[in-house]
A = this chain, B = another copy of it.
Amino acid sequence: MLNRVILIGRLTRDPELRYTPAGVAVTQFTLAVDRPFSQGKEREADFINIVTWRQLAETCANYLRKGRLTAVEGRLQIRNYDNNEGKRVYVTEVVADNVRFLESGNVGGNREEGAGSNPSYSGGGGNNNNRYGGSREQQDPFIDDGKPIDISDDDLPF
């Protein structure tokens, strides 16, 4: 009914950009979000999986890099799929619709450069067709083999 997540943390590695068979961009990365520090304990963090789609996915792939401080806004999603041993697996991730790059850096070096100089960061609206994930038959897009991931067009969140 209402589902909002806001995080600030650092990328644990470079983002991964892929395309669905229909050619829709998907970028995935993990954010290390420090927990409130308590003395007498070692530092701790939560490692939270983020997914972005379409234009935002391409912007993230172009501008984010491992270690960068980043703010993410989105919704919490729990997908499930059956793995190769026929066991149900649950995947929790944040489907981001807004990503802010809090450290600029000289990015874009080893990837195709973002064309314009004015990157737009927020997931464009559209028809609010938020349905990525959830159905039993769905495959995990993060378990892949280099080939285009097997999700259909209507697996998209908007």
Q: Report which A residues bind B (CB closer than 8 A).
A: 1-9, 33-38, 40-41, 44, 46-48, 69, 71, 73, 76-78, 92, 94, 98, 100, 102, 118, 120, 122-131, 134-135, 154, 158
Contact = CB atoms under 8 A, between A and B. Distances in A.
B100 A33 contact: no
A105 B97 CA distance: 30
A123 B123 CA distance: 13
A120 B46 contact: no
A35 B134 contact: yes
Contact of A1 (B8, B47, B124): B8
Contacts of A4: 4-7, 73
Contact of A7 (B2, B38, B98, B135): B2
Contacts of A131: 35, 38, 41, 44
Contact of A34 (B1, B73, B154): B1
A46 B2 contact: no
A151 B154 CA distance: 39
A33 B78 CA distance: 10
A158 B125 contact: yes
Contact of A124 (B7, B33, B76, B127): B127
